[in-house]
Amino acid sequence: MSLDTAPSRTVTAVRRRERRQRSWRRLFVGTAALAAALAVWEVAAYAVHDAVTLPTVQETVRQLVHYLAAPYPQVQGKTLVTDALISTGRILAGFALGTVTGLVLGAAMAGVRVIRELADPIVGVMRPLPPIAFIPLLVVWFGIGEASKIALIFFGVLPVVTIATLGALDAVPDEFTHASRSLGASSFHTMLHVRLRAAVPGVVTGMRIAMGGAWTSIVAAEMIAATGGVGFLILQAGNYLQTPLIFSGIAVIAVLGFTFDGLLRLLLRAVDPTARR
């Protein structure tokens, strides 16, 4: 029996090379776009000629490097690195708690009718609410310490991951479970290795969305009620018209946000072969 079989090894090799070329190209174009944006900034800075309104790129970089290790404000201040670690710690703690709870809640809603009917309206009401609306309330409840920040992230991440999990589980086609059962798998094995497994890419996509929202919330919270974190630093810098430092803080958030999204994208590629291109 020989149906059409292309010499796949060469096909795969060619495809792999093409993919590598494409990713190099993308990297190159992306770097060029960033460089162009910096060039526009630099030209604009010379045109404005006012370091408070718009500092030059080199001045911003100089201050960024300086405050990486030097505290700001000088009295009782923290370094950029410390502030970044504080914000990251809050994000990770709230995100981990929110994701785990969302996974469990979403799976329970998908599996148990009563839980779905009970939780559906609550999640539905919570989701469109901007988490930052809860900041004053959380401060009243938990003070301005870590607990209120982690709770804020948690309540932002929870509905997003819950809905993503529920949606992904609902979207698993019956054909998958049918195929699994008729191949001899038990219903437990099917639940674990087919239904839950098929939902993983959708859940990770939900986690990516939740991570984006988490950065918005944490920066807002640190600006309203905190004594540390990148948001707090940016606010302080703004109060003293330290524009280069504001830009530095924003740059740090950009790098961290990009890094975490990149990690989640790697996770998505690991769990979803169709995402590898």
Partner 1 sequence: MTERSAQVVEEPVADKPAAVRLRDVGKTFRKRRRETTALEGVSLDIAAGEFLCLVGPSGCGKSTLLSILAGFTEADTGEVLVDGRPVTGPGPDRGVLFQTPTLFPWLTTRQNVLYGPRARRALTPDVREEAAELLETVGLAEFADAYPHELSGGMRHRAAFARVLINHPRVLLMDEPFGALDAITRAGMQRFLLELWQRRRTTIVFVTHDVEEATLLGDRVSVLSGRPGRTKAVVDIDLPRPRTYDDTETLAFVTAKRRIREVLER
Residue 80 CA to residue 231 CA, distance in Å, equals 11
Q: Does 267 bind partner 1 (CB under 8 A)?
A: no
Closer Cβ to partner 1, 9 or 49, answer by number: 9
**Which range, of 32-40, 108-116, 172-180, 248-256, touches partner 1 by CB under 8 A?**
172-180
Q: Does 113 bind partner 1 (CB under 8 A)?
A: no
Q: Which of 1, 75, 133, 140 binds partner 1 (CB under 8 A)?
A: 1
Q: How many residues bind partner 1 (CB under 8 A)?
A: 34
- State the minimum distance, in angstroms, from the CB of residue 198 to partner 1: 7
**Which range, of 18-26, 76-84, 95-103, 168-176, touches partner 1 by CB under 8 A?**
168-176
**Which range, of 77-85, 94-102, 120-128, 193-201, touches partner 1 by CB under 8 A?**
193-201
Q: Which of 64, 185, 224, 267 binds partner 1 (CB under 8 A)?
A: 185
Q: Does 191 bind partner 1 (CB under 8 A)?
A: no
- State the minimum distance, in angstroms, from the CB of residue 242 to partner 1: 50
Closer Cβ to partner 1, 29 or 271, answer by number: 271
Name the residue among 165, 192, 168 with its Cα closest to residue 108: 165
Closer Cβ to partner 1, 98 or 201, answer by number: 201
Chain positions 222 to 261 lying near partner 1, rule: CB under 8 A, are none
**Which range, of 160-168, 186-194, 214-222, 225-233, touches partner 1 by CB under 8 A?**
186-194
Q: What is the 3-class SS of 65-109, one letter each residue?
A: HHHHHCCECCCCCECHHHHHHHHHHHHHHHHHHHHHHHHHHHHHH
Q: Which of 19, 20, 22, 178 binds partner 1 (CB under 8 A)?
A: 178
Contact by Cβ (8 Å): 243, 277? no
Closer Cβ to partner 1, 146 or 272, answer by number: 272
Q: Which of 110, 126, 194, 237 binds partner 1 (CB under 8 A)?
A: 194
The footprint of partner 1 (CB under 8 A) covers 1-9, 12, 173-176, 178-186, 189-190, 193-194, 197-198, 200, 271-274
